[in-house]
Amino acid sequence: MKIAFAGKGGVGKTSLCAWVADWLARSGKNVWLVDADTALSLGQASGLDADALPEPLVLRGDLVRERIHEGGFLNLNPEVGDLPEELAVDVPLGGEPLPGVEPGRKRLIVMGAVTNAGGGCACDANALLKALLAHIVMDRDEWVLVDLEAGVEHLGRGTVAHVDGLVVVSEPSMRSLRTGAEVGRMAADLGLDNQVLVLNRYTGGEPPQLDGLPEWRMSVPVLDGLAERQMTDASVLGLPESALLDGLARALLDGLAARERGETGGN
């Protein structure tokens, strides 16, 4: 399955993506983690040292030139099939694999921020980024989790069509729920209507009915173990609450899969 994580900044997208990926790998699945957020924190949240992070694709001027300007022509449909292996870094498991399970591989690809700051080649880098995202999402028969900047606009219509589920992450606050509703609406307009709302740092209460907010909801409580540890450790894995997070990841994936098959997912 291919799953994207979206929502307002700071709500827990990257953490949730890291938790779900770790659960998958510990239950024997191979997972591609795609960091398409400009904050570039998925690697560190998954326990990679800052100096072990892969170089962001958009900074690989050599690749941008080689693929997009192949043979002196502008190629907006570049060959990228070899790039996941070339760019990815293996990410260690955050805990023990499930009993009797051969753990899967977690691999991280960092896209990086496409800006115009450097001038000139931003659109070329963007074209390569889009082509790579499209390839990973459309042509790879593996688990793919994409940590997005905010909404799904990064993905483009063609790529979105191949995403199986959208996890809209929000805090229990009006501002972040509004962003979540906006993201949900835009994704639904692009045909991605298998969505779940994850209320993170949830302390109770009923969220408002906002047009676009996914109807199926799950919640994650405030994690004291994470709050305590995060001053000194960037990883969100291996927490005292990991059994709870495993249960959540499992329910989330089972529900998205059931909905994808046309059954009604849990509630």
Ligand X SMILES: Nc1ncnc2c1ncn2[C@@H]1O[C@H](COP(=O)(O)OP(=O)(O)O)[C@@H](O)[C@H]1O
What kind and span of H or E run contains 185? helix 174-189
Which of ligand X, Mg ion, none has residue 170 at its interface (CB below 5 to 8 Å by kind)? Answer: none
In a 13 Å sphere around the CA of 28, the CA atoms on its Cβ side amount to 5
Q: Could you say which of Mg ion, ligand X, none residue 243 binds, taking C-beta under 5 to 8 angstroms by partner kind? A: none
CA gap 147, 167 in Å, rounded: 10
First to last CA, the chain: 20
Q: Residue 206 CB, nearest distance to ligand X (Å)?
A: 19
Minimum CB–partner distance for residue 75 and Mg ion (Å): 31
> Which CB, 46 or 126, lies closer to ligand X?
46
CB of 17 to ligand X, least distance (A): 8
CB of 230 to ligand X, least distance (A): 5
Binders of Mg ion in range 14-33 (CB under 5 A)? 14
Our finding on whether 35 is near Mg ion (CB under 5 A) is no
Q: How far is the CB of 229 from ligand X (least distance, A)?
A: 9
- Closest CB 130 distance from ligand X, rounded Å: 21
Of 25-33, 37-45, 46-54, 126-134: span binding Mg ion (CB under 5 A): 37-45
Q: How far apart are CA 225 and CA 221, in angstroms?
A: 11
Look up residue 81 and give its amino acid: G
Positive or negative CA dihedral for 190, 194, 199, 200?
negative
Which secondary-structure segment (H or E) carries 64?
helix 61-68
Residue 255, contacted partner among Mg ion, ligand X, none, CB below 5-8 A by kind: none
Residues that bind ligand X (CB under 6 A): 7, 9-15, 41, 200-201, 220, 222-223, 226-227, 230, 236
- Residue 258, Cβ neighbours under 10 Å: how many? 14
Q: Is 89 helix (H, G, I), strand (E, B) or coil?
A: strand
Nearest residue to Mg ion, using CB? 14
Collect all residues with Cβ–Cβ distance below 8 Å to 177 and sequence separation of at least 6.
170, 171, 207, 208, 210, 213
| Beta bridge pairs of residue 107 | 32, 90
| Chain CA centroid to CA 178, Å | 20
Work out how close the CB of 263 gets to ligand X at its nearest, in angstroms, rounded to a whole number. Answer: 29
Q: Is 246 in the site for Mg ion (CB under 5 A)?
A: no
Of Mg ion, ligand X, none, which one sits near residue 15, judging by CB under 5 to 8 A according to partner kind?
Answer: ligand X
Beta-carbon neighbour count of residue 162 at 10 Å?
A: 16
Contact between 37 and Mg ion per CB under 5 A: yes
Residue 187's binding partner, choosing from ligand X, Mg ion, none, with beta-carbon cut-off 5 to 8 A by kind?
none
Q: Return residues touching Mg ion (CB under 5 A).
A: 13-14, 37, 39
